[in-house]
C-alpha cells in the first residue's frame, strides 16, 4: 500500500503546505477529533495521530516577537526617546522585520528562480523593502506583520492534516490465527498462504477471503457489502475478509492472499480515488495572479510616466509615491478577510454538527447539483425493527407473538434480538427442546405446541403451506407455524431515520437536480426504500467497485458537482472519488470518516441541507468582503498615486477593512440554521 506518488496542496496564496499522499487538507478552524481513541470491531484500540498540543504554537512566535518589537519601537518614536535615533532605530525595525519578512523574501526568491515573478511574495517583499528604502520603517514592519498573521491563518488549515492511508491500514485485521504444526498460531495476515486454515473468534474480523469450514456462521458484512442484515453462511460458502464473526468460533480455508482480499481491494480503490480528486485553489490565489502584476506595473508607471507629462519632474519624489503605492497595494485586507469568511462558515457549520475538512469544500458543496447516497446508516438507522405482524386463519397476534417470543428467546441471532424488542401484553411461556436448523430457523415446544420459526425453506421441509404473498415480501421475514398450521409472519426492516423523508423533499426544493441511492443491500429492499422516499434512481446489490463505477459514470457529465453520502467502509472509495464526500460521523466507520470531505456528527441527513445553506451564505459573505476590500483599496490607491495618502493611512485602511470583514464573517455564526 505504500506509494511514492505525491499530491501537492497549497494554501490560499499558493504556498505549498503539504506534499505527501498520506496527508489531506483539514479545516481552516481545526475541529476536535471525532474519536480521540477509537475501538475497532476487533476490540483493539487505536488512536488517530494528529499534530497539535504545544508544537503548533511555535509558528506564532516570530509574529509575536515582531509585534512586541514593533509596538515598542512605535512607543519609543511617539515619546521621542533620545537614544532611539539613527542606526539604532533602523536596526531595531530590521530586527522586528526579519522574523516575519525573511520567510516571505525567501519564498519570493524561490519563485523568481522558477520564473514566477508576479507572486504575492514578490509584491510583499518589494513593497515592504521599499518602505524601508524611503525611511518608513514602522510601516514596513506593520504591513509584513499583517501579512504574516494572514499566513498563520492559512497554515491553521493543515495543522491537523490526517494521515489517511495509515487510518485505512488500521482497519485491516492485524493478526490471523492459522493452523500450523498441530495448533493455531498468531501470524501476520500477509504471511498466510492460500488453502491454509484460519480460526476466527466471536467479534473478530475475518482476515482473509476464504470458504467456511465450520457448519455455519453468522457474519456482519455491512462494512464490505453494505447489507444491513447479518448473513448466515453455511459450510463451503464464501467468506469475505473484513466481515465480523457474530456467533461462535469458526474456521475458514483461505482462497486468496492478503493483498488480494476484499479489504485490501477496497483500500486500493480508496487510494486511487483519492489520487484522482482535484485540488481546488482558493479564490485569493486566483485573484492574486491578476491583481499582483497590475499593481506592480501601475507602480512602475507612477514612478516613470510623470516624466513625460510633468514639468518639474523629480525622480526621488515620484519613486516615493510609487513605493507608497506599492505599500498601499499590499492585499493584506484580502489575505485576512477572505479566510475570515471561510472561518465564519466553518464555525457556523461546526456549531451545527457539520465538520468540513477544508474551506475548499464549502465552495464545492455550494455547486453540488447531484446527490448520491447509501441506504443503510444514511437514510436508515441501520437497526432492525419489526415492520409488520400478520396472522392467518384463526390465529391472532396476541396468541402467536408470545409463542414466537418464547422460541426466539433461545436464539442469539440479530433478527431474534429485533423480535425480542416487541412488548407483548401476554406473559411469555418457557420453550423446551429448541433446536436450530442451520440456515433455516428454529423448532421447539411451547405449552406442548410444536412451534416452527424460520424461512420458506424451513416451512417446505415440514410440508407447511404458506400464502402466495410471502414470495412477494422484500424485507427479511420470519414465518411462524404452530402444530403444523401456518399462523403468520413477522417482517423485519431497517427503520428510516426521522428526517429522511423531509430531507429528500428539501434536496429537491434547494435545486438538487438528481437524487440517486446506491446500496449493497438487496435490490428489492433498496428499491422499496427509494420508492417510499421519492428517490427515482436506485440500485441495490452493489459491491464497493460497483458504486465507484456508477459515480464515475455520473462524473462524465461535466455540468455539475456530485456529493456522495455514506457511512461504511464499503463507501470509502466512492466518498473519495466524488466531488464532495459526506460521511455520517456518529455511527460511521473510521475509514469513511477519514476519507470524507465533510462529516455529519449527528448522523442526521437534514444536516446536509444545513451544510449547503451555510456554503451558499459563506460565498455571499466572501464576495461581500472581496468587494469591500477592493473598493476601499482602489480608492486609497488613487489617493496614494496623487500623493494624498500616506502609508499609515493605507495600513489603517487595511485594518479597518479587516475589522469590517471580521464583523461580516461573524454574522454567519449568529444566523439560525
Tell me if residue 427 falls in helix, strand or coil: coil
Sheet holding 231-234, edge to edge: 231-234, 216-220, 244-245
Of 320, 329, 272, nearest to 298 by C-alpha is 329
- Do residues 396 and 210 make contact, with C-beta atoms less than 8 angstroms apart? no
The residue from 374, 571, 590, 654 that is catalytic is: 374
Q: How many residues does the chain have?
A: 673
Q: How many CA atoms lie within 13 A of 134 on its CB side?
A: 23
Of 387, 377, 383, nearest to 477 by C-alpha is 387
User: What's the sign of the alpha-carbon dihedral 557, 558, 563, 564?
Assistant: positive
Q: Which cell goes with 566?
A: 455514506
Tell me if residue 220 falls in helix, strand or coil: strand
Of 565, 572, 551, nearest to 605 by C-alpha is 565
Q: Is 374 a catalytic residue?
A: yes
Q: How many CA atoms lie within 13 A of 166 on its CB side?
A: 12
Distance from C-alpha of 567 to C-alpha of 574, rounded to nearest angstrom:
11
Q: Which cell goes with 262?
A: 476484499
Q: Which cell goes with 605?
A: 441527513
- Do residues 480 and 492 make contact, with C-beta atoms less than 8 angstroms apart? no
**DSSP string covering 158-219:** GTT-EEHHHHHHTTS-S-EEEEETTEEEEE-GGGPPTT-EEEE-TTPBP-S-EEE-SSEEEE
**DSSP string covering 379-396:** TEEEEEEEEEEEE-TT--
Q: Which cell goes with 13?
A: 496564496
Tell me the backbone φ, ψ of residue 572, rounded to 5 degrees.
Answer: -60, -45
Residues 6+ apart with CB under 8 A from 491: 386, 387, 388, 473, 475, 476, 477, 478
Of 131, 102, 108, 253, nearest to 192 by C-alpha is 253
Q: Which cell goes with 210?
A: 476464504
* Residue indicated by cell numbers 498573521: 149
Q: How many CA atoms lie within 13 A of 441 on its CB side?
A: 23
Of 314, 312, 294, 295, nearest to 304 by C-alpha is 314
Distance from C-alpha of 518 to C-alpha of 543, rounded to nearest angstrom:
10
Of 108, 217, 104, nearest to 151 by C-alpha is 104
| 634 alpha-carbon distance from chain centroid | 39
Distance from C-alpha of 349 to C-alpha of 600, rounded to nearest angstrom:
10
CA distance between the termini of the chain: 42
So which residues are the catalytic ones?
374
Amino acid at each position: 500500500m505504500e506509494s511514492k506518488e505525491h499530491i501537492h496542496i497549497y494554501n490560499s496564496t499558493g504556498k505549498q503546505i503539504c506534499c505527501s499522499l498520506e496527508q489531506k487538507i483539514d479545516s481552516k478552524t481545526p475541529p476536535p477529533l471525532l474519536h480521540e481513541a477509537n475501538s475497532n470491531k476487533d476490540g483493539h484500540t487505536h488512536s488517530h495521530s494528529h499534530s497539535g498540543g504545544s508544537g503548533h504554537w511555535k509558528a506564532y512566535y516570530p509574529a509575536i516577537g515582531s509585534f512586541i518589537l514593533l509596538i515598542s519601537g512605535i512607543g519609543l518614536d511617539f515619546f521621542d526617546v533620545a537614544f532611539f535615533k539613527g542606526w539604532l532605530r533602523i536596526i531595531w525595525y530590521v530586527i522586528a522585520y526579519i522574523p516575519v519578512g525573511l520567510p516571505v523574501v525567501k519564498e519570493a526568491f524561490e519563485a523568481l528562480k522558477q520564473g514566477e515573478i508576479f507572486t504575492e511574495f514578490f509584491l510583499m517583499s518589494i513593497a515592504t523593502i521599499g518602505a524601508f528604502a524611503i525611511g518608513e520603517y514602522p510601516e514596513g514592519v506593520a504591513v509584513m506583520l499583517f501579512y504574516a498573521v494572514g499566513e498563520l491563518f492559512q497554515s491553521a488549515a493543515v495543522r491537523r492534516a490526517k494521515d489517511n492511508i495509515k487510518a485505512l491500514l488500521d482497519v485491516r485485521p492485524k493478526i490471523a490465527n492459522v493452523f500450523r504444526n498441530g495448533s493455531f498460531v498468531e501470524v501476520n495476515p500477509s504471511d498466510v498462504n492460500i488453502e491454509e486454515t484460519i480460526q476466527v473468534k466471536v467479534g473478530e474480523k475475518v482476515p482473509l477471503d476464504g470458504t467456511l469450514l465450520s457448519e455455519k456462521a453468522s457474519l456482519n458484512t455491512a462494512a464490505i457489502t453494505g447489507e444491513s442484515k447479518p448473513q448466515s453462511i453455511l459450510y463451503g460458502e464464501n467468506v469475505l475478509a473484513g466481515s465480523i464473526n457474530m456467533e461462535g468460533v469458526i474456521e475458514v480455508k483461505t482462497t486468496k492472499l492478503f493483498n488480494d482480499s476484499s479489504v485490501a481491494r477496497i483500500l486500493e480503490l480508496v487510494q486511487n480515488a483519492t489520487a484522482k480528486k482535484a485540488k481546488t485553489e482558493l479564490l485569493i490565489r486566483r485573484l492574486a495572479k491578476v491583481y499582483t502584476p497590475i499593481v506592480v506595473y501601475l507602480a512602475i508607471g507612477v514612478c516613470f510616466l510623470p516624466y513625460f507629462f510633468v514639468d518639474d519632474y523629480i525622480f526621488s519624489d515620484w519613486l516615493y509615491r510609487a513605493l507608497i503605492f506599492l505599500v498601499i497595494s499590499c492585499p493584506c485586507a484580502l489575505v485576512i478577510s477572505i479566510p475570515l469568511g471561510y472561518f465564519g462558515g466553518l464555525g457556523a457549520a461546526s456549531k451545527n454538527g457539520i465538520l468540513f475538512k477544508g474551506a475548499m469544500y464549502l465552495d464545492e458543496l455550494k455547486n453540488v447539483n447531484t446527490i448520491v447516497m447509501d441506504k443503510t446508516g444514511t437514510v436508515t438507522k441501520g437497526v432492525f425493527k419489526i415492520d409488520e405482524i400478520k396472522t392467518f386463519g384463526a390465529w391472532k397476534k396476541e396468541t402467536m407473538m408470545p409463542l414466537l417470543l418464547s422460541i426466539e428467546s433461545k436464539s442469539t441471532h440479530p433478527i431474534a434480538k429485533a423480535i425480542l424488542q416487541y412488548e407483548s401484553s401476554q406473559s411469555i411461556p418457557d420453550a423446551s427442546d429448541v433446536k436450530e436448523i442451520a440456515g433455516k430457523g428454529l423448532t421447539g415446544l411451547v405449552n406442548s405446541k410444536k412451534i416452527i420459526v424460520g424461512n420458506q425453506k424451513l416451512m417446505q421441509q415440514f410440508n407447511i403451506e404458506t400464502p402466495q404473498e410471502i414470495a412477494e415480501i422484500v424485507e427479511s421475514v420470519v414465518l411462524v407455524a404452530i402444530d403444523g398450521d401456518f399462523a403468520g409472519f413477522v417482517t423485519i426492516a431497517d427503520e428510516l431515520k426521522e428526517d429522511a423523508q423531509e430531507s429528500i423533499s428539501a434536496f429537491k426544493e434547494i435545486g438538487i437536480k438528481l437524487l440517486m441511492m446506491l446500496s449493497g443491500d438487496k435490490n428489492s429492499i433498496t428499491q422499496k426504500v427509494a420508492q417510499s422516499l421519492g428517490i427515482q434512481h436506485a440500485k441495490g446489490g452493489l459491491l464497493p467497485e460497483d458504486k465507484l463505477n456508477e459515480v464515475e459514470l455520473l462524473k462524465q457529465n461535466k455540468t455539475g458537482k456530485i456529493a456522495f453520502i455514506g457511512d461504511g467502509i464499503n463507501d470509502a472509495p466512492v466518498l473519495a472519488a466524488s466531488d464532495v464526500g459526506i460521511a455520517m460521523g456518529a455511527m460511521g466507520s473510521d475509514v469513511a470518516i477519514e476519507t470524507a470531505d465533510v462529516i455529519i456528527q449527528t448522523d442526521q441527513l437534514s444536516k446536509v441541507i444545513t451544510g449547503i445553506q451555510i456554503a451558499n451564505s459563506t460565498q455571499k459573505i466572501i464576495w461581500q468582503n472581496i468587494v469591500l476590500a477592493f473598493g476601499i483599496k482602489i480608492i486609497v490607491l488613487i489617493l496614494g498615486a496623487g500623493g494624498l495618502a500616506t502609508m499609515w493611512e493605507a495600513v489603517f485602511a487595511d485594518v479597518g477593512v479587516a475589522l469590517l470583514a471580521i464583523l461580516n464573517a461573524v454574522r454567519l455564526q449568529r444566523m439560525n440554521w
